[in-house]
Amino acid sequence: MKNLIFTLIIFVAAVGCTEQASRHEPQGEKVLLISFDGFRYDYLDKTETPNFDELVETGVISEGLIPIFPSKTFPNHYAIATGLYPENNGFVGNNMYDPEMDSRFAIRNREAVENPDWYQGEPIWNTVEKAGKNAGTMFWVGSEAPIQDMRPTFWKKYDESMGDSARIDSVVKWMTLNNEKEIDLATLYFHFVDTQGHRFGPDSPELVEAVERADDLVGYLMNRLDESELIETTNLMIVSDHGMSSVSRDRIVVLDDIINPEELDMIAYSPVIMANVSEGGKLDEIYQSLKENEEHYKVYLKDEIPDRYHLKDHPRIPELTIVADPGYTINTREVFETRPEYPSGGAHGFDNQEKEMHALFLAVGPDIKNGYKMKAFENVHLYELMTHLLSIEPAQNDGSIDSVSVMLN
């Protein structure tokens, strides 16, 4: 009798596992990943957004998408693409120095941006291509470099002047070629929400106009997907890389009041200063001065960086990291005196646990629940989610499908 009961328990458990697996068996054929840079988690509450609202009603929205630290554009877009934290994919900031390469990276340095040596890990478009499927990237961090000596089937060099609707039209065309180059994964990127957030701040009328422009684009996108008969086969994810905080001249930290800035070799700038000590400078003395005057910022030696930042175990992390408190700007007296309007508007890069740094996540499609709101989650899990939806084997990553499977049918 005991053996019979045990056998029945095993059978029921096996059936349950089978049902669970089949329940999450992807039905969609394609994934479309869209980023509105700098779109904070709560921006949909700032104005009427009928097109976003329709997706919320028929899909899944989270309480926020938690960025990796630093909450900057390049590190977060590449974390989404690879499912890796900065110390594992090498992207530790918008500006970096690699001592092994003896070279600096800056996001506006085209030679650096297109150099694959800066990019570690495997981006989703490479995973797709390795699985025998096709990918098309309309502007995504890393997609302009031949990482692992590979390119997606279609890719575009970043061109900020390219029209919004033209970007959508190009991607829809790639998704409907009806030949061997038709793509299974597509990415889209739009910068204008972040631009207005920086210039005018997250509570400005100009930011509201940018949110409304994004809503109009979502309406246009859904019409194009419907016309092209992609609605029933495409899982759509709308994300952002980070949020935005208001900054002002009233909340500044002047480095010269604490140390001699000339003793620092600055690599990254406010709100997260990354620096090495210049030749002749004394690390211990500089650190102690910063630590003793630690107000409106936190200072860390490399081995003191909090584990939750997933940042310290990489050679691109310099000797000192100084993190400004939310809304504060830390810089030299010279910068403040020569730029009387600085800082103003908005900024990001702050601690990724701060709610104002959290971004938008919204998904809809044949494998996504209807009208479901989920808890905030880290963006590194999106890589696993995309590989699951495309039924392909993921590369090594720091994410987990279990962290996001609650959104699946």
Active-site entry in 49, 73, 153, 187: 73
Residue type, 351: D
What lies within 8 Å, CB to CB, of 212 at 6+ separation is: 47, 48, 49
**Cβ pair 318, 97 in contact under 8 A:** yes
Q: E-strand spans in 152-295?
A: 154-155, 185-190, 234-239, 245-246, 252-254, 264-268, 272-277
114: number of Cβ within 10 Å: 12
Distance, in Å, from the CA atom of 397 to the CA atom of 80, rounded to the nearest integer, reads: 11
**Cβ pair 208, 47 in contact under 8 A:** yes
Instruction: Report the interhelical angle of 50-58 vs 205-227 (nearest 10°).
Output: 60
The strand order across the sheet containing 272-277 reads: 264-268, 272-277, 320-324, 297-301
Is 73 marked active-site? yes
Cα 261 from chain centroid (whole Å) = 31
Active site residues: 73
